[in-house]
Structures are given as structure tokens and as C-alpha cells.
Structure 1
Amino acid sequence: MEYINVIERNVLIDEIPALVMTPKNNSGLHPTVILYHGWSSSIEKQSFRGFILSSLGYQVIIPCAIHHGSREPVDHSKAENAGKYFWKIIFNNIEESTKIIQFAVKELKADPERIGVCGNSMGGFTAAGVFASNTRLKALVVFNGSCNWNASNELFLEALNMEDVKAPEELQRKLNMYNPMGNLEHIINRPILILHGDSDTLVGIEAQREFYKEVSPKYDGSERLKFVEYPKLNHFVTTNMMEEAAIWFNKYL
């Protein structure tokens, strides 16, 4: 598809389907944002958010997660599938992120010094993990996600009435490995914007509050860390959130 100012195309990054949106008149290297979708969402459902960012001058890459789209999808309405696949998908997204970044630089003319990452819900968890694992990424925006995975996992287990279930050893190992809260040395003083509704019933805001309380003193008052709570907002991405994200990337990307 081609818009007035944006060219949209589907690409395959090894086995990863992705949607790429590139500003039509940009020459040279592109500032680039990798946008991760949430649980039960898709690259198509994120295309309008991608278009907003791309129309502002950013190349946007929206990868398809495993167990979504054409990648062996599961029934996302079943709570047991959320318990079984949620973290597996996030870990896989992080492990695939290096391929996406390399492809962006080699094949899509992405500026390696101007790549950011964002995502909503499960995509917000992913974006935070990708940011902590790839220290050359320049900016992070988390919509309704979490940078504090152990706390969020406890909330999930409680919501699924599984709080007495011990996490499998491999799951806990990877949680500890990729959890941004456990890798603060990799993210301190790098630009992080957290946007979250204070009435979110799917991904509780408490974990992000704990993360911000822990991390903000280490930023020593720097504007490179910002946490915005939206009163009475449930699990949605609003126009105001998209505006905040655009301002953030304009400042740090």
C-alpha cells in the first residue's frame, strides 16, 4: 500500500513477517522505530500507529510475533494459552530482535545510531526487554506494559488463580536474564518513556510504579526518564499517548 507520504510494504526477515513503513521523501539513512504488537494483536492492527510515526519522519518496522498471524497462531481468548505462551513469545521476540536490527541497517537503510523501540501491552514488555538487551538502541516507549517482570508475573498468576504455582525453572531463568528491572546497569540514563492508564485491568500499573520508584533516583533528576499516568484509563493507547511518544522520539532519536 502507498499513502501520500508513506510507503508501506511487507517483508520477510528470515522467517519473521514484518510490515515496514518508510517516509516517501526521506533520503539517506532513516531514523527507525521498531513497534511490537500485543497479545492477540497483529501487524495489520498496529499499522495505523505505525503510519502516525512514519508520517512524522520515522521508518517503522512492525514484526509479527510467534503464535500470531501466520506464525502458528493460537486461540488468544483462552486464559490457559496466555499462561502457556505469553512469556515464550516475549523471550522469542527478544531473541529475534538482533536479526531485525541487522536487517534494518543492511536492507532498509536504517541509521544504526538512531533506532528506537516501542510497544503496547505484551509489545511493551517486549520493547522493554529488547531495549535492555540491545544497548545501542537510543530510546524506549512502553505503552501499558512492564519493565518490572517478576512483579507483573505475580499479578498475572494471581489474576489467573495460579499464584500457588511455582514458575518452571527455565521460565524463571529467562525472566531473570531478560527482565529490565534485573538489568538496570544496561538501561540507566538511557531515554525511557512509560505511559500507562491507572485503571488498567489487564496489565496492572503497580509494577511500573515500582520500577519507576526504583530507577528514578539513579537518573538523578534527568529528563531522560518519564512516567505518565492517565487517570481512569483502562488498557488503551490514546491519542495523547501517541503524541507523547512522537515528542519523545523527536527529542531522543
Structure 2
Amino acid sequence: MIQKEVLEEQFSINNVPITLFRPSQTKSQSTFLYYHGWTSSVENYRFLGKSFAAQGIKVIMPEVEEHGTRLSDQYYFNSFDNMLITIEQTYAEFADIKNQLFEQVEINLDKFAIGGHSMGAFISAYLFLKYPEFQQAHLFNGVIDTEAIIYEIEGSLLSLSEEERKLVNNYNPAQMLAKLGQRKMYCYNGLQDTVVSPVFMQKFQTQISTNGQYSNEFIFNFYENAGHDLTYKMLRDCYKAILS
């Protein structure tokens, strides 16, 4: 049922700024933890938080290091290395805030989903597979095999530093699928995306179909005339799955 009012609250846990959106009229059982992308911010996704909360879903948005209200270096986004550092830092921060966050927001793990856009999708995929109590993952314009996209960006994994290769190998969701179980991962990709090519997800879909593993756990959605931005259809398909 669509809510008329949405409440928005800002707070911090261990110096991580968090924005919470929730419906004002009912006590929501479903919760969506959402991570924004590289160079973006929580502010850019307030529309998602409000629209999902209007559908009866609590939405939690942490601000990623050196983004949005945490940005201190205007040149931070010029370095690809900084993206890898940011991803690793976000994993560490989540482990640090998880217990207090879940208690403070009163999360029902039976109705908990995690997701994100672009870099946020990479982050969400890893965290989803790391924590078996999470029920759903929703990945917007992302990839599962992060090694593949970094290989494409750099031309060859050999061009990465030893520390970067270690990071890719340690945190690649494609190497963690044994932890998936029967949980669902929903993937939403725009076919006109020129930032994160949908080809990566299409290749992964083919791989899943060919080997016959995890074919019931992955739900792939490809959208005509959609680029790297979120679309109404993506958001509609996502909140319907969360509420199902």
C-alpha cells in the first residue's frame, strides 16, 4: 500500500553518515540497504529512498568514504586506485557498523535486501555473499565477475599492482558463489550503458546457463533504451521483488 508520508532521518555510526527513509504510517517489515556508486552520493539517491519508503520499505543509505558529505579531496576521483581503496574501506566499515545499525533500525532479517548501483552493486554483491542471513541482492548496472571488468579497464590484470590483484581476487563475487545457497540475486542492466557494459552481465548469464548452476538463484533483467542511470522500470521491478 502506498504511503502518503515518508520520514527521513540522518545519523552516524562510528563516523559513517547514514540516511534512513521509512514510511510514516505503518511499521515496515522490509528493509533495503543501498550503496551509491563511484563519484555519486546519498543525496543523488534520495528519490529512491523516498519512493521505496512510499511503498512501505525502509531504506538505509550509508555515505561511502570520500563521497558526498565525506568528500575532502576534489581530485580523489581521478585515480582508479582510489576506487579499489574505497571498495575495500566500505567492506571494513560495514563490518564495523553492522550490529549497531541492525539493532538501531530494527531490521527483520527475513525481509532484508541489499543492493546498489555501479560500484555500489559490486559492494552489495560481495556483502550479500559474505553474510548468509541476507535474503536478496539487487544489483543495478553492475557485474558479478569484477575481475572481468577490471581486466577490461586495465587491458590486463598484469598491469595492476600486486596489492590491486590481491584485492580483486579476495573480493570477487564470482569466486564466492558457493555461499549463495538458494538466495536470490536480481540483476538490472541497461542495454545502452556505456559506463559498465551490459556485455559483462550477459556473458555471466551465459556462463550460468551453460553450467546449469545457480540458474534459479539469478534473475537477469536487461532494459532496452536504458543507459547507466536508474529507470522507473528498474525501480519498479526491484521494489516488487523486495515486497514479494
What is the TM-score normalised by the length of structure 2? Answer: 0.90
Contact 1:30 1:109 (8 Å CA) reproduced:
no
Displacement after TM superposition at 1:10 (Å): 0.4
- How far 1:165 moved relative to its partner? 5.7
Q: Is the 8 A contact 1:141 1:194 kept in 2?
A: yes
In 2, distance between residues paired with 1:18 and 1:63? 4
Match of 2:99 among 102, 127, 135: 102
Cα distance in structure 1, aligned partners of 2:76 and 2:233: 28
List runs of 5+ in structure 1 lacking aligned partners. none
Paired with 2:65 and 2:149, the residues of 1 have a C-alpha distance of 21
The residue type paired with residue 131 of structure 2 is N
**Do structure 1's residue 16 and structure 2's residue 38 form an aligned pair?**
no
Q: What amino acid is aligned across from residue 90 of structure 1 in structure 2?
A: I
Which deviates more from structure 2 when the two are superposed, residues 65-74 or residues 135-144? 65-74
CA distance in 1, matches of 2:45, 2:94: 18
Identity of aligned residues (%): 23
TM-score of the aligned structures, taking structure 1 as reference length = 0.87
Deviation of the 1:42 alpha carbon: 0.8
Q: Which residue of 2 aligns with 1:51?
A: 50
Q: Measured at CA, do residues 76 and 128 of structure 1 come closer, stay the same or move farther in structure 2, by a change above 3 Å?
A: farther
Task: Tell me the residue number matched to 1:218.
Answer: 213
RMSD: 2.1
Give the conservation status (yes or no) of the 8 Å contact 2:151–2:157: no
Residues 49/76 of structure 1: CA separation in 2 closer, same or farther (3 Å cut): farther
Which residue of the partner structure matches residue 31 of structure 1?
A: 30
- Once residues 157 and 24 of structure 2 are traced to their aligned partners in structure 1, the CA distance between those partners, rounded to angstroms, is 53
Q: Secondary structure at 2:222's aligned position in 1?
A: strand
Question: Are the structure 2 counterparts of residues 111 and 93 from structure 1 closer, same or farther at C-alpha, using a change threshold of 3 Å?
Answer: same
**What CA deviation, in whole Å up to 9, does each residue of 1:72-91 have, x standing for no partner?**
4443695x42x121121122
Q: Which residue of 2 aligns with 1:146?
A: 143
Q: CA deviation at 1:66?
A: 0.6
CA-to-aligned-CA distance 1:193-231 (integer Å, 9 cap, x gap): 1110122111111221222223342135x2x42111112
**2:196 equivalent in structure 1:** 203
1:120 aligns with 2:114: no
1:156 alignment partner, SS class: helix
| 1:44 Cα deviation after fit | 1.1
Contact 1:33–1:59 (Cα < 8 Å) also in 2: yes
Match of 2:230 in 1: 237
Could you say which residue in structure 1 is the equivalent of 2:84?
A: 87
Residues 181 and 211 of structure 1 are in contact (CA less than 8 Å); yes or no, is this contact kept in structure 2? no
Shift of 1:41: 1.0
Contact 2:84 2:167 (8 Å CA) reproduced = no
CA distance, structure 1, for counterparts of residue 26 and residue 170 of structure 2: 38
5+ unaligned residues in a row in structure 2: which ranges? none
For the 8 Å contact 2:76–2:82, the answer to whether it is kept is: no
The separation in 1 between residues aligned to 2:184 and 2:32, in whole angstroms, is 14
Bigger Cα displacement from structure 2, 235-244 vs 85-94: 85-94
1:71 aligns with 2:70: yes
